Amino acid sequence: MATPRFDIIGQAISDASRTRMLCELMEGRAFTNKELAAAAGITAQTATAHLRLLQDAGLVLAERRGRCVYHRLAGPEVAQALESLAAIAPRDSLYRAQRRKAGGLAEVRSCYDHLAGPLAVAMTQALLARGALHEENGGFVAVAGPVWAALGVTLPERLGRTPFARPCLDWTERKLHIAGPMGRQILSHALTAGWLCRPTSGPQRGRGLEVTGPGKRALQDLLGIGGAVSAVCAAHPREDA
């Protein structure tokens, strides 16, 4: 059996500039070389060399669209690995770098394609407490019920090779939230239903999310997490809330 090349991954994420670029890509969008260079505080030429190393390590993909080349994370499994590493990283290094990057969005944010932060953890804990979700063999298994349709989730008829509800260790809470296809459906529905919105300016722009008035009511009615939602909204109030 081949030994995983952790040394290659370790080398790829060992540089602070590459870490900052990876944190930027955790938003789930694709960015140009110049955008990532600005995020890392380095020149475009230096960013090119860093991105090439990240591509060689299988962490980042590059794709040309017209005259521009865009870079994105290689997949959700990379985002999950980075989120887990951030959760165990010393608080005086990657943790602080993530906090600076997060600014005020640590309370409610997206982690690549799913919801993260205290709100995501509260939702996960509520689903576990209500028996709609349970842990099995290190993963999450959903129990059929009306709550899933209300959350915008369509449960698969049969389990596939890829876990439908994958646990993801939250880097600020050190607890699990829901990732995988289920997490993606929940976030998509919350945005479409107007429960959450993405700020267009300010420090929360990007991965940051805001809870709307309808979102507060829906999450309280469905999961009984009004206290957690109120705490998030108190940290980041909306004028229309």
pTM: 0.66
Q: Mind listing the pLDDT tens digit for each residue in 118-155?
A: 899 999 999 999 999 998 877 899 999 999 999 999 99
pLDDT of residue 152: 96
Q: How many CB atoms lie within 10 A of CB 227?
A: 10
Q: Mind listing the pLDDT tens digit for each residue in 34-77?
A: 999 998 899 999 999 999 999 999 999 998 888 889 999 998 88
- CATH fold group of domain 6-74: Arc Repressor Mutant, subunit A (1.10.10)
Q: Which of 100-109, 191-200, 215-224 has the lowest mean pLDDT?
A: 100-109
Q: Mind listing the pLDDT tens digit for each residue in 2-39?
A: 778 888 999 999 998 998 899 888 877 788 999 999 98
Domain spans of the chain? 6-74, 103-235
Mean pLDDT of all residues belonging to the chain: 83
Q: How sure is the predictor about 192, in pLDDT bands with cuts at 50, 70 and 90?
A: very high
Q: How sure is the predictor about 88, in pLDDT bands with cuts at 50, 70 and 90?
A: confident
